[in-house]
Structure 1
């Protein structure tokens, strides 16, 4: 591991990045009631992964540390305002012999913006297998995104500076990012993958590391359904928004270290799209899976 990573600095791009460590530090204001903040007033709306991550932290703060998060399921109700705090109301649904269930309602100005159900499990041993294997060049051998694309494309794009300024995730693509091909009017299969990690070193607390991936997991996922249609989310008239989001955590891992995130757009229709993701560590072990349905509507 490089000294830069050990110092907590990971591929710093130009300009500030959202302070993810602070974002995940919720304030407890009452029993089962927490406040989360964006620390990024310049954003137009709260990034979906932030709502997922903060809701997970709120739920986890009401669970004994011996039980670890294994699945979460969320629904995005309304866009959140990054300039205002978010209240996270936790309901203690069940404390069983092996599993603990929590529900979380995130509100702003009295309106619900996000709902989460999270399940925690007492550690135990069981069967072990995975259906897929994967491999890719290690991230250290790959260029940064800015180094991998035509400077003319980079000069004309507006999405990358916005993403860099508002989402605290580093990424490197083993292959050409399909969005670049789509911008040339070329269709691609509904698959994409990237090495991902949080931009800063996070606390070793397993809950914070899991929340780090919950934050990361929303990045790019729904857009994996667009490559066959040769359009990008910048297309005039395109509406793209997450509707629901699920994460299953199979192993404990550090979200501030590189993992390979493979994404596949399974289906589009009726103004919606469905995508799934698989997260692998460097040795090819599947450590997490994701699913997301979202609005994909093109109005000419």
Structure 2
């Protein structure tokens, strides 16, 4: 995938009946289905059963089994509630009858109320002053570890610009914080809020668990640590669009019991808080 159009093709599902949808997969470098893809496709299925104009405000999900890239994914939507203000959907994703993922999503009618938000770091570096993943590959490709180089070589519909580039050769423990700017490739002017939320959810599964590995970088890396997303939750606060860079500000409060926990906030360039994310993932040291 090289642009937002390729991503939209993956997120769009074939409809079998009112509540059943079928999706295909595309690799992002992992041998299994990318978690962000399943998250976004499940939201696509849920949204297509909402007929009252309500907007997604939260979702909570669990990854139960690794998805097979070669098999279609069936999404079954359960209509749990259509109340006076909120609609709730439950989505079950399966392959060959085996449940691989479950998600609950809540949709809210437009209402006015009190407002406040935390502030984006005023000292964060702007994307124009940073190198992207593509820049890193083009500049340092011959010096990068093979796995890192292979990962960066995979075409993606989104560009990332971390505010700090960690040297994988240093093997140095780092603080459990990270800031990454991201922007879609291609024409994004026609994206409505529902599709934008699905794409934002897809992107939210990038980078998030890596921040939980940083405090252990002197001994742990992707090559000697088994990692997998276990759950993923997200809250959507305000309307936004993808015409400019967005900032994913991440931190990891804890790792323990072979699990890492990370959370993050997504801001527009001018500091509007768009969404918050939380994820726990498996971080199991492997025998060398």
TM-score normalised per structure 2: 0.90
Judging changes above 3 Å, is the alpha-carbon distance between structure 1 residues 43 and 267 closer, same or farther for their aligned structure 2 residues?
closer
1:162 equivalent in structure 2? 151
Contact 2:62–2:231, Cα closer than 8 Å, also in 1: yes
Q: Secondary structure at the residue paired with 2:172?
A: coil
Aligned to 1:145: 133
Partner of 1:186: 172
Q: 1:28 aligns with which of 11, 15, 19?
A: 15
2:110 to 103, 114, 123: 123
8 Å contact from structure 2 (residues 29, 151) kept in 1:
no
Q: Measure, in 1, the Cα distance between the counterparts of 2:92 and 2:154.
A: 27
Measured after TM superposition, the shift of residue 284 of structure 1 is 1.0
Q: CA deviation at 1:245?
A: 0.2
The two structures, once aligned, show a CA RMSD in angstroms of 2.3
Whether the 8 Å contact between 2:252 and 2:263 is mirrored in structure 1 is yes
CA 23–35 in structure 1, closer or farther in 2 if over 3 Å, else same: same
The answer (yes or no) to whether the contact 1:23–1:37 under 8 Å persists in 2 is: yes
Equivalents in 2 of 1:171, 1:159: separation in Å? 15
Which of 204, 220, 239 is matched with 1:252 structurally? 239
Q: Which residue of 2 aligns with 1:72?
A: 59
The alpha-carbon deviation at position 66 of structure 1 amounts to: 1.8
Cα distance change, pair 241–40 in 1 and its aligned pair in 2 (3 A): closer
Q: 1:155 to 1:148 in 2, by over 3 A?
A: closer
Tell me, in whole angstroms, the C-alpha distance in 1 between the residues paired with 2:27 and 2:281.
24
Which of the residues 269, 272, 276 maps onto 1:285? 272
Relative to structure 1, the CA distance from residue 233 to residue 17 in structure 2 (aligned partners, 3 Å threshold; closer, same or farther) is farther
Equivalent of 1:196 in 168, 174, 182: 182
Kindly report which structure 2 residues correspond to 1:105-116, keeping only aligned pairs within 5 A, or say none: 105-116=92-103
TM (normalized to structure 1)? 0.86
Q: Deviations over 1:103-138 (max 9, x none)?
A: 000010100111010000001111111133323232
Distance 1:159 1:205, change over 3 A: same
SS of 1:71 mapped into structure 2? strand
Give how far 1:81 is off: 1.1
Report runs of 4+ in structure 1 exceeding 4 Å deviation: 15-18, 39-43
With over 3 angstroms needed to count, the CA separation of the structure-2 counterparts of 1:205 and 1:190, relative to structure 1, is same
> More deviation in 102-111 or 40-49?
40-49
Aligned to 1:57: 44
Closer, same or farther: CA 212–229 of 1 in aligned 2, 3 Å = same
Match of 2:162 in 1: 173
